[in-house]
Structure 1
């Protein structure tokens, strides 16, 4: 990260903290104009309110790993309903305020209060999917997510709801804070660590629990020190988690007045905005990759509204979104960061060290190929992202990542804010993103060379909740997908004549080439397929498709795929020859300026993610037209 943060870790430990002045709770009352804005925001939510259940309802869209329910089920939402209730209380409309109280009284009893149970203090997603007796894992984050709106009710609306309900809410908040403290989420889980810190900090003060406030202060300092040492959030460049973290940091700014803690909070808040600014592609209006934890491959209208409001209207991207203040989340872009959004330097190359290696973690390696030392140890490696942003497109990659559906390790954007497009590389197991697949990638500016391999103990649909057991999994279909979505005008793939030939891609002025220089999955070599639906087109490199069969990874001598990608808007993309070399352990791919080497056989996850080599043989010959920003 650039040197915006000026606190030192040593200084943090020598502060004399005045615990008598940690927080300041001043009820916020909106102006009539602000209430009018809020009423407009509530119009869509009002349609989702179920008067009979006193909650918002929705229909589940897919099977979630924290729920026993399938898709297509009508449910009532705890978190969304409470957030709705908080907004209703701020309208000063008596009918709405009574509705808010009904919602709160409905949801409070859903919290588990039996302290003998491990999930005491937690709420379910929906009353239709209770915590007791379920098969799916409990989402302990709901102690944090439900506590946040309840704190807002206590701070801003205690005078209206009455002392009895105030006491019931405080009792629930104490259980939530205890659950959060017991769980003790570490700094590598960014948004929940920040959110839980806020909950414990405030609950400690409003409920007279100084030990809880002490815990929250220590947790805040620990999170800050970890983040500085790690050069950013573990969920790097996340359009989802960065914004959640910003919301919680904003709440802290509004309530925490302890001087030392406020400096930490303000510094972390600025870090969030800097990450967004340096990965914002002005021509397409996109928050570009690479991303860990992203729910969409294109920016959503809420993001454009955030930029508009946080810049006081200076960032006014075209599109259909409310250009009215978000009175519930009054964010502001720091003045020294705003210019990054308003005037882009293009072309440019952003290089981010997202996660710093931990030399204390040692990984033992054994080899099949005859070597002098048949075993040795390696440590983890830095996770480094690269974003090439030009006036015509943005291409981003991570040097090491995995293919979960919430990651964007290799992604491109182009077009305009009104008609944006994306290209995302995915790896699918029976049609769903396969978390056990790892990617190692090298990128100069417009070219990426990557290897995909597999962890024998990696996750399936989730990185940790449904891991491959004993190196065995069943599959009907395994394929690498080059997916394009968004605006598809004059956009197409051309299937190669040969089985393993080059695939050409055209999207208006954009040109790209894709090549699989090497692929082997057991006895399968793979082949290209082209497809589309109403919203996307794709080129798939199919490794297996047929009857369901069991794959025993311990018996696969090779489970690997290489990919060459080149992109251009002003001329035909570069089509460099890719040299292939391999032995019984590793696959190596190289062009004149890029080299990637990674395991070609399955191994344990930690080794697969760190046992690789990347070399830049002719790394970005000095080019006066490309600005290189390296943040290490």
Structure 2
């Protein structure tokens, strides 16, 4: 890849345009896409649907392409989408859109207030970059739509710990204040930059930690403030946040695997760093050097428009970490639970492997409390998917009433899993299982999943599973299992390149009430070794006493890890209060 930044941005717009042209439905005047399962907000899971957000992005991309002949179509799409915004300021959904043209706001479960932030951002870019090219009627409509979105964002006034929406909404309100010459909006938005900075400073890092997708969204929003906004106080605060974002990403990027490593708070895939928009941002920010000079072929997608619209440049020290990650351990306090219990992430960077865990965290389809990656000796720079994760599944989806606790030294982790009530089901907040509520369940299982281990040697010694490849040994065990009166079973499954250590907690379909299960815990260890030294792994000492599990483990290098965690169903706030960890006696 031998691009200048300008040439690369042009290429990104070309790819985004190609994706939009292919997906555009002339009959509907909007982007069309095949429906996918989404457990929140929408119930359109089959057939073809027409999304409002992607349609606005396509209109913006048409304007970015620069041809006068594209402007009328862009304007038609903008009008069509703007007509679907709730503009009644007395409405609870004021200023937002539904996801899809086929599903009005009142049919969503529930509506997604983030759509004021997401679509508002695209409207702001339309005005910042193309207002002079729009006809008077369209210009007026887009300005009105941006104003409604911004006032919806102000009304909602989301917590600054909701990192990506806090950042995106701050850009939208700053943009609206500036473009619409609205002093009240501007004053609010400038204060909001300060609030976001204060939240990050107080917590220590980002509550939506180590999220490749939301890091990209947040960086694009904050970089856009620096680039497009005229308020000096807001720009100064945004520059500070940009620096923190680079530090956060660089600490967990692993250059040899080309993956964002460590525990993850908000992800939608097991390889979040391989998304085209993140790779595009990093290529620009590093000056197209090292591995970023030879990216995997970028798939045409509308999301590539975002990186093309913002200027990004990683500080020199950050760029060097992205290009050549040093080995060692990174610990970072991401945030606090309920203002008291720190959420600490630990990530070990080896030469060709990396492993991370979080001190306390829920399970959920967007969480990865224990996550690792490795590469084999002959793998190319952007090689095949090779990863390990530990997750708790109910009826084949991640179960967000399950909670994780751990302590990590180097590439070895001592961990324990229990449950909370009330707690989430498929979604951590929207699908609640209330305290004392019985719920049907077909299967409940803990799964240690190893992917990319085709050709590996697998051995089992007691509860310990060892998977050996030319590059690494992955050693996992579940040394203590308690699930009330049930009799859990353990098995190893192998399919294609996947090796699974499965703890089946139930004998078959049943109805559960979480509070009736005692004791309840799963406790074990995980180790990842690379190179020629693949040591034996000792079993931990584990005691379940008075509602808690107490585990002590001497790692392969002699480090003593201790973990205390609940062996009973607790509340969300109660679980982390019990957790205690130490490394060689140090808390």
* TM-score (normalised: structure 2): 0.91
Among 62, 66, 74, the residue aligned to 2:37: 62
Structure 2: distance between partners of 1:619 and 1:568: 24
Matched, 1:384 2:350: no
Among 498, 503, 528, the alignment partner of 1:567 is 528
1:528 paired to 2:508 = no
Residues 1:441 and 2:406 are matched in the alignment:
yes
Alpha-carbon shift at residue 478 of structure 1 (Å): 0.6
Find out whether 1:484 has 2:484 as its counterpart.
no
Instruction: Give 2:279's aligned residue.
Output: 304
Q: CA deviation at 1:32?
A: 8.5
Q: Retained in 1: the 8 A contact 2:454–2:496? A: no
Displacement of 1:245 in angstroms is: 0.5
Change (3 A) 1:41 1:204: closer
In structure 1, the partner of 2:511 is 550
Range with greater deviation from structure 2 (38-47 or 434-443): 38-47
Instruction: Indicate yes or no: 2:53 matched with 1:87.
Output: no
Q: Gaps (5+ residues) in structure 1?
A: 1-29, 362-379, 621-632
Q: Secondary structure at the match of 2:365?
A: coil
Q: Which runs of 5+ in 2 are unaligned?
A: 555-559
Match of 1:585 in 2: 547
2:396 to 410, 427, 431: 431
Q: Does 1:352 align with 2:325?
A: no
Question: 2:581 matched to 1:614?
Answer: yes
1:277 Cα deviation after fit: 1.0
Q: Distance in 1 between matches of 2:8 and 2:157?
A: 41
CA drift of 1:357 comes to 6.1
Q: Distance in 1 between matches of 2:17 and 2:469?
A: 39
The Cα offsets for residues 135-173 of structure 1, whole Å up to 9 and x where unpaired, read as: 511100001111111111122222222111111122222
Instruction: Give the TM-score of the pair, scaled to structure 1.
Output: 0.85
Residue 527 (structure 1) shift: 2.1
- Selected match of 2:296 from 308, 312, 320: 320
Aligned to 1:513: 475
Helix, strand or coil at the partner of 1:307: helix
Match of 1:604 in 2: 571
Q: Count matched residues.
A: 563
Partners in 1 of 2:166 and 2:199 — Cα distance? 12
Q: Match of 1:246?
A: 219
In 2, Cα distance between the equivalents of 1:36 and 1:344?
A: 28
In structure 1, the residue matched to 2:81 is 107
Contact 1:349 1:388 in 2 (8 A): yes
Residues 1:460 and 2:435 aligned together: no
| Equivalent residues of 1:112, 1:122 under 8 A apart | yes
1:222 paired residue among 181, 191, 195: 195
Residue in structure 2 matched with residue 332 of structure 1 by the alignment: 313
- Structure 1 position 256, deviation (Å): 1.7
- The separation in 1 between residues aligned to 2:236 and 2:220, in whole angstroms, is 17
Alignment partners' CA distance in 2, 1:131 and 1:240: 26
Aligned to 1:21: none
Corresponding residue of 1:152? 125
Contact in 1 for aligned 2:227/2:310 (Cα 8 Å): no
Deviations 1:431-485 (A, max 9, x none): 1001111111011112111110000111111111111123333211011111123
SS of the residue corresponding to residue 236 of structure 1 reads coil
SS of residue matched to 1:546: coil
Q: Distance in 2 between matches of 1:162 and 1:535?
A: 56
Distance of 2:419 and 2:343 partners within structure 1:
18
- Deviation of residue 220 (structure 1)? 1.1
Q: Please, which moves more after superposition, 321-330 or 591-600?
A: 321-330
User: What is the root-mean-square deviation of aligned Cα atoms in Å?
Assistant: 2.3
Secondary structure of the 2:116 match is helix
From the superposition, tell whether residues 301 and 404 of structure 1 become closer, same or farther in structure 2 (CA, over 3 Å): closer
Distance 1:292 1:320, change over 3 A: same
The question of whether the paired residues in 1 share the 8 Å contact of 2:331 and 2:346 is answered with yes
Q: 2:487·2:507 contact (CA, 8 Å) conserved in 1?
A: no
Structure richer in helix, relative to its length: 2
